[in-house]
Amino acid sequence: MTAVRPETTARPSTGTSFPTGFVWGAATAAYQVEGAAAEDGRTPSIWDTFSHTPGKVLNGDTGDIAADHYHRYRDDVALMKDLGLKAYRFSVSWSRVQPTGRGPAVERGLDFYRWLTDELLAAGITPVATLYHWDLPQELEDAGGWPHRDTAHRFAEYAEMTARALGDRVGVWTTLNEPWCSAFLGYGSGVHAPGRTDPAATLRAAHHLNLAHGQAVGALRSVLPASAQTSITLNLHQVRPLTGSPEDAEAARRIDAVGNRIFTGPILDGAYPQDLLDDTAHLVDWGTLVHDGDLAEIFRPLDVLGVNYYAPTVVSHSADGAATKNDGHGASEHSPWTGSDHVAFHLANDQLTAMNWAIDASGLHTLLTGLAASHPELPLMVTENGAAFDDYVSPEGRVNDPRRIAYLHAHLDAVRRAVADGADVRGYFLWSLLDNFEWSYGYSKRFGAVYVDYGTQRRIPKESAHWYAGVIRANALPSAG
């Protein structure tokens, strides 16, 4: 098995190149691409239930078929090889491997991931497995979901059984992808599955996701070879106050606490920050929620930290007494920013993607260099970065996406500059390999480097895919975007 961690961390040799051994990859998530929602023993996850609930997903779209990666993975791996990808970050469907979240694994479900990883290895592509990308088995949600402490224990058991099955093929393991979204969008604003809107449940879910991560790291290390790497991927918010006023600085502090430090505190520093506890004490009794030994479980050394970045988070004080809801995460009458009232959200500029997210690569540089300064011993990996635009196939059969190329050029340059400034960034995973089911936006948003015609499942590499392949070949950016 091949590690994604280079043996050296040599600095770039020219103004546009990346370190020797820099890992170039692309990423997907199980529910967004696999399809085969009821095949080979798979049972519903919370996203199956949510997407089949009228009014929850745009146009009533579901992930039942998605990009049909389950049946087309060989062709998709061939595409990856053609593009020169060195690594592929995919997620494992918990409902496919362990349908009820309890009991023995379903071998047919594990077989899919065995076949996928074998195909990747044969193509010279490193498999990078994420154990959880938001698709909790519905039976575990019915039993209480992430606000229920037992879910963390179930996750550790699932992690161990999956690692026992795939540990001879996969050397890089991520426990959770973006637990902030799982907790705060799933249980706070309700725009993600399971669609609950309970502030106290949001905070309980966040703690139990942290606990699940820590217990899973222990479970993974108990069965994997010593060379295996463990990580977590966080969508850290690059928070900026709108003005230099003390009120806006306070708004930024609160969002940083509930958006970032609720995870980085216990995972990277061994404790929840006191200001977070104070901000949310009226919603949850942290002394009861956090059991003796929990923080030690959570605070396990990581081999690498995955960082997802799309846009900065610009905030100001809101005098009207209620948090503004247009924060880029989806429309809801309920704020995901639990315990952070009196905060308004703003766009960093008027250069927007199809998601109405501001395009600002400087935030990625700031995020990476800030992490390097606060945790210099911790290697970093950009595990998601990309943009959705209104892509279409031309009469000539091409997908020209110059805005995505410009976006990628700017953000890859931000990564390169962060490395030059001392950040130990080991690689970059483009989001996403394929157009796919974009959660509550259904199939209306296209993030892929490869265009998917959902009616025929035809794949067409976009111009940005060819551009990215050139970057990979050169291990450097071209002189202009």
Q: Which positions are annotated as active-site residues?
A: 178, 384
Give the C-alpha separation, 332 to 396, whole Å: 41
Query: Over the Cα atoms of the chain, what is R_g?
Result: 21
Q: Token match 């949600």: residue? A: 141
Tokens of 462: 């976009």
Give the C-alpha separation, 322 to 248, whole Å: 15
User: Would you give the DSSP letter of residue 60?
Assistant: G
CB neighbour list of residue 105: distance below 8 Å, 6 or more residues apart: 97, 98, 161, 162, 165
Give the C-alpha separation, 175 to 211, whole Å: 11
- Maximum Cα–Cα distance across the chain: 64
Q: What crossing angle do the helices spanning 107-122 and 69-83 adopt, rounded to 10°? A: 20
Contact 55, 41 (CB under 8 A): no
Give the C-alpha separation, 210 to 206, whole Å: 6
Residue 155, exposed/middle/buried by CB under 10 A (0-12, 13-18, 19+)? buried
User: Phi, psi (5° rounding) for residue 80?
Assistant: -60, -45
Give the C-alpha separation, 434 to 448, whole Å: 4
Instruction: Identify each DSSP E strand in 92-250 by its residue range.
Output: 126-132, 172-177, 229-234, 239-241
Tokens of 379: 């290697």
Contact 20, 428 (CB under 8 A): no
Contact 61, 442 (CB under 8 A): yes
Contact 118, 26 (CB under 8 A): no
Give the C-alpha separation, 240 to 316, whole Å: 9
The separation between the first and the last C-alpha atoms of the chain, rounded to the nearest angstrom, is 35
Residue type, 25: G
CB neighbour list of residue 31: distance below 8 Å, 6 or more residues apart: 45, 47, 48, 63, 66, 93, 133, 134, 135, 437
